[in-house]
Amino acid sequence: MKTFSYVRATDVATAVGAIASEPNAKFIGGGTNLVDLMRERVESPDTVVDISALPLTEVEELPGGGVRVGALTRNSHLAAHPLIRARYPVLSQAILTGASAQLRNMATVGGNLLQRTRCPYFYDDTAACNKREPGAGCDAIGGFTRGHAVLGASEACIATHPSDMCVALAALDATVEVRSVRGTRRVPVDGFHLLPGATPHIETVMAADELVTAVELPASPLAANSRYRKVRDRASYAFALVSVAAALEVTGGAVAGVRLALGGVAAKPWRAREAERVLLGAPATEESFRRAAEAELAPAAAQPHNAFKIELARRTITATLRRLLTDGSAA
């Protein structure tokens, strides 16, 4: 990789100050994605600002029952945290399906939010990629598209977002707190990642000099009955073909509350609002689940190798809701 300068920040103000003064700088937390991308020459920062010493590792209960998670909380720590396991099982499960134990021990919550796609044409610098080089074209289109998006893709980019954690956060209506020299702002996670449109290189609403400082999970009785289902090409250490984060509350045989989000199908964690709309108030039955899944996938459009994802997403939504109904959050 290219040589770069290294700055170690010990407080948030210094960190955001350091990044603001340097046009081609990157924060590094766990480094589990950035270092790979630097080795593959996809990212070539001149300066790397090490934020791993910042005091952003707390997981705290908020008044009202929500939980605030520091951005540098390690994935493994968050997944094992009693508050998360009890109140947001979907989040704990989602994290544990991602990567490997070694990677989860290093990876941070903030870094997980900012993971970049695993599209092979993004990683190979001999291929054209609008995300890597705006305006270059997209070699994924017409290439191997088995892992690519079926929702929200554009003619410029058909990549997917690789995170599992973010799919759970989308279902949980989490909020992302970001900080820069201009101050602090809060963004709902569903609005945090962007669909590609004509500018697939712009992946989130964050400015280059902003730092994720925390993720907040709102109180949600519904979330205690939630689960994550990841479908992939091997039993472990593979990215999702399709994943589903779901929470369900049933009263008197009818759906009283539901949250659904999909992974592996779009450039962002896909909050399935149409499916939620169909389900709310409907009888909690296999037919309703299937109808909701079909409604959500109605606008889906396939590439030559990934049409199966549309049916797989329908089936996985249905199966996950069915499982929630019978087994709750239990593994």
Partner 1 sequence: MTQTEVRTPPLRETTGSAVGAPIDRVDGTAKTTGAARFAAEHPYPDLAHAALAHSSVARGRITAIDTAAAAAVPGVLTVITHLNAPAMKPPPKISPFNLVSLATGTSVNYLNTDEVHWNGQPVAVVVAETRDAALHAASLVEVAYQRLEAVVDFAAEEGNAEPQKSNALQSGGARKGDARAALAAAPVSVDLRFSTPQHNHNALEPHATTAAWDGDRLTVHEATQGIAWTRGQLALRFGVPERNIRVLSPYVGGGFGGKGMVWAGTVLAVLAARVAGRPVRLELTREGVYRTVGGRTPSTQRVALGARADGRLTALVHTSVARVGRVGGGGEQITSQSRHLYDAENILLQQNLVTLDLLPNTMMRAPGEAIGTFALESAVDELAYKLGLDPIELRMRNEPTVNPLDGKRFAHRMLREAYELGAERFGWPERTPAPGSMRDGRWLVGMGVASAYHPSWQLAANVTVRLSADGGVLVRCAFQEMGMGSATVVAQIAADALGVPVAAVRVEYGDSLLPGGPAAGGSAQTASIAASLLPAAEKLKRSVLALARRSPESPLRGTRASGVLARDGGLYPADGRGAGESYPAILARAGRDSVEARVGSDTRVGAMVSQARTVGKVLNDRRRWVKAACGAHFCEVRVDPDTGEVRVTRWVGAFDVGRVINAKTAASQLRGGIVMGIGMALSEETLVDPRTGRVMNPSLAEYHVPVHADIPPIEVHYLDEPDPTMPLGLIGVGEVGITGVAAAVANAVHHATGRRVRDLPITLDKLL
Positions in the binding site for partner 1 (CB under 8 A): 1-3, 41, 118, 120-121, 124-127, 139, 142-144, 146, 231, 233-238, 241, 308, 311-312, 315-316, 318-319
Q: Which of 145, 329 has the CB closer to partner 1?
A: 145
27 vs 289, beta carbon nearer partner 1: 289
The size of the chain, in residues, is 331
As measured in angstroms, the least distance from the Cβ of 311 to partner 1 is 5
Q: What is the largest CA-CA distance in the chain?
A: 63
Distance CA 196, CA 219 (A): 31
Q: What is the dihedral of CA 325, 326, 329, 331, to 10 degrees?
A: -140
267 and 288 Cβ atoms separated by less than 8 Å: no
CA separation for the pair 280, 262 (Å, rounded): 18
Report yes or no: 284 and 253 within 8 Å, Cβ to Cβ.
yes
Identity of the residue, 84 or 246, whose beta carbon is nearer to partner 1 in the bound complex: 246
Least separation in angstroms between residue 126's CB and partner 1 is 4
35: left (phi over 0), alpha (psi -120 to 50) or beta: alpha
> Least distance in Å: CB of 309 to partner 1?
8
Tokens read off for 268: 């962002």
CB of 174 to partner 1, least distance (A): 27
Minimum distance, C-beta of residue 195 to partner 1, in the bound complex (Å): 24
Residue 124 vs 294, nearer CB to partner 1: 124
Least Cβ distance, residue 262 to partner 1 (angstroms): 14
For partner 1, the closer of residues 2 and 64 by Cβ is 2
Least distance in angstroms from the C-beta of 137 to partner 1: 13
Residue with Cβ nearer partner 1 (126 or 251): 126
- Among left, alpha and beta (phi > 0; psi -120 to 50; other), residue 193 is beta
328: left (phi over 0), alpha (psi -120 to 50) or beta: left
Tally the C-alpha atoms within 13 A of residue 57's C-alpha that lie toward its C-beta: 15
Q: Which is nearer to partner 1, 5 or 10 (CB)?
A: 5
Phi, psi of 24 (to 5 degrees): -120, 65
Q: Name which of 148, 192, 156, 309 is nearest 244 in CA terms.
A: 309
Nearer to partner 1 (CB atom), residue 10 or residue 236: 236
Compute the least distance from the CB of residue 307 to partner 1, in Å: 9
238: which residues sit within 8 A by CB, 6+ positions away? 232
Residue 95 CA to residue 69 CA, distance in Å, equals 14
